[in-house]
């Protein structure tokens, strides 16, 4: 049986999520922005095959990823930017599956060249 503190914490988290959605709606965020915020996070590793800085997209091991507005990049252990990425770079990424095929990447971390990445 859950304790009172657990129930209160769970209720508080639910109300926080509802408040965040209401704020997003009031701020004029579209349904796609709300869907992106609610999508579960996934992780993966791979090698960058293509970069398109103009459209904010990249292809990693055959899958297309879109740079989310809140994207954080780490290159060589330091803060970086999407435009600092290079084809052939091994990365770990955190992304949200926003729709059937759209993946919005929110974190990219460069991996050392010595890291072996298994192909799917």
Both tokens assigned to 81: 């930017």
Per-residue pLDDT band for 37 (boundaries 50, 70, 90) equals low
CA distance 104 to 83: 16
Does 28 reside within a domain?
yes
Q: Are residues 17 and 76 in the same domain?
A: no
SS3 120: coil
SS3 86: coil
Per-residue pLDDT band for 96 (boundaries 50, 70, 90) equals very high
Q: What is the CATH number of the domain that holds 92?
A: 2.40.50.320
Does 27 reside within a domain?
yes
Does 118 reside within a domain?
no
Is the pLDDT at 77 greater than 50, yes or no? Answer: yes
Q: How many domains does the chain have?
A: 2
> Rounded to the nearest 5°, which phi and psi values hold at 15?
-70, -35
Report yes or no on whether pTM surpasses 0.75: no
Q: Are residues 23 and 45 in the same domain?
A: no
Q: Are residues 54 and 104 in the same domain?
A: yes
Q: Residue 27 has what pLDDT?
A: 62
According to DSSP, residue 112 is labeled P
Q: How many Cβ atoms are within 10 Å of 35's Cβ, its own excluded? A: 14
**Comparison of pLDDT for 73 and 13, the residue scoring more:** 73
Does 23 reside within a domain?
yes
| Alpha-carbon dihedral sign for residues 110, 93, 28, 23 | negative
Let me know: does 16 contact 42? Beta carbons within 8 Å: no
Q: Residue 41 has what pLDDT?
A: 92
Q: Are residues 69 and 105 in the same domain?
A: yes
What is the average pLDDT across 112-116? 90
Residue 64 lies in domain: 40-110
Does 115 reside within a domain?
no
Q: Residue 51 has what pLDDT?
A: 98
**Helix boundaries (H) for the chain:** 4-26, 31-38
Is the pLDDT at 2 greater than 90, yes or no? Answer: no
Output the CA angle 106-107-109, nearest 5 degrees: 160
């Amino acid at each position: 049986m859950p304790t009172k503190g657990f129930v209160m914490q769970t209720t508080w988290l639910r109300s926080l999520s509802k408040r965040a959605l209401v704020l997003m709606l009031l701020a004029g965020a579209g349904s796609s922005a709300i869907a992106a915020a609610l999508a579960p996070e996934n992780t993966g590793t791979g090698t960058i095959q293509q970069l398109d800085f103009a459209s904010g997209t990249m292809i990693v091991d055959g899958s297309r990823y879109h740079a989310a507005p809140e994207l954080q990049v780490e290159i060589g252990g330091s803060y970086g930017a999407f435009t600092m990425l290079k084809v052939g770079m091994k990365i770990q990424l955190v992304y949200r599956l926003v729709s059937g095929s759209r993946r919005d990447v929110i974190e990219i971390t460069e991996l050392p060249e010595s890291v072996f990445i298994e192909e799917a």
